[in-house]
Amino acid sequence: MAGAALCLSLIALPGCSGEKEPAPAQSDPAVSGALGDDIVVDPDLAGGQGSALAADEGEITLPPQDRSTEAMADAMQKAMSLAGLPEPLPEPKAKGEVAALTTNAATAAQVAQASRLAKTDCTTRLEYSNTWAAKLPAALPVYPRGAVQEAAGVAGEDCAMTVVNYATPVEPEDVLVFYRGMAGKNGYSARYARDGEEHVLGGSKGKAAYVVYAHRLKNGITEVNLVTAGR
């Protein structure tokens, strides 16, 4: 269900262990206005009617109109206007690189030196609310027209992390091409790795880091987990 959607393969988040599941986020008109048409917050998780999650099995789905050729073309056009002309992904790094990218983001979340020394686990302090999707760095937004399923974050003196889970009809490779373009345009490094069907892109800029996981579901939708950390 919703609480499981944010469970990443390498970063343990609250709710992934079968403990208390976070309460659904409430809608925020100001945030909804800021998101505009480019990000779709799942109305079921935001307290409205309807859902991008199938009620019977918790599978991520998208309405037909959001999977249409026109919708995909519009999303990719908006992605190109943000990130520039797409460049093919390089050959992926070895499987072990995935763990390195994850560790880099987790370390960057510990923004205070004292926190690093204490090995603070910032993921245990995440607060669940879809409004965190609007608080992502401008350089690393949700892919245009992406349907946010769940989001969480923390922004304290010793921890800074945002995690967003969303769905899009475009291919995983197209998602990572977008983030690679955005990263390069905004001074972040970008390393591409692959672990089976999981495509991973990560990098850093100063004390900030990010990692993006994308994989194709059996129903043809791409599920994305985006993690940004540090400042």
pLDDT at residue 50 tops 80? no
Q: Which residue has the higher pLDDT, 24 or 81?
A: 81
Banded pLDDT at 52 (limits 50, 70, 90):
very low
The confidence score (pLDDT) of residue 92 equals: 84
Alpha-carbon distance of 227 to 140, in angstroms, equals: 9
Q: What is the mean pLDDT of residues 173-194?
A: 95
Number of domains in the chain: 1
pLDDT digits (tens, 9 = 90+) for 197-223: 889 999 999 999 999 999 999 999 999
**Closest by alpha carbon to 136, among 202, 229, 30?**
229
**Closest by alpha carbon to 163, among 83, 78, 97, 224?**
224
pLDDT at residue 24 tops 60? no
pLDDT at residue 84 tops 80? yes
The confidence score (pLDDT) of residue 14 equals: 36
* Pair of tokens at residue 15: 């709710």
Alpha-carbon distance of 10 to 179, in angstroms, equals: 20
The confidence score (pLDDT) of residue 133 equals: 95
Q: Which range marks the domain in which residue 166 is found?
A: 2-229
**Closest by alpha carbon to 222, among 64, 41, 93, 61?**
61
Apex 137 CA angle, 81 and 100, nearest 5: 105
Predicted model pTM: 0.75
The confidence score (pLDDT) of residue 51 equals: 33
Banded pLDDT at 61 (limits 50, 70, 90):
confident
The chain-wide mean pLDDT, for the chain, equals: 76
pLDDT digits (tens, 9 = 90+) for 87-139: 888 888 766 677 777 777 777 777 777 766 667 788 888 899 999 999 999 99
Burial 189-219 (b: 16+ CB within 10 A, else e): ebbbbbbeebbbbbbbbeebbbbbbbbeeee
Residues whose CB is less than 8 angstroms from the CB of residue 24 and which lie 6 or more positions away in sequence, other chains included = 2, 44, 45, 46, 47
From first CA to last CA, the distance across the chain in angstroms is 31
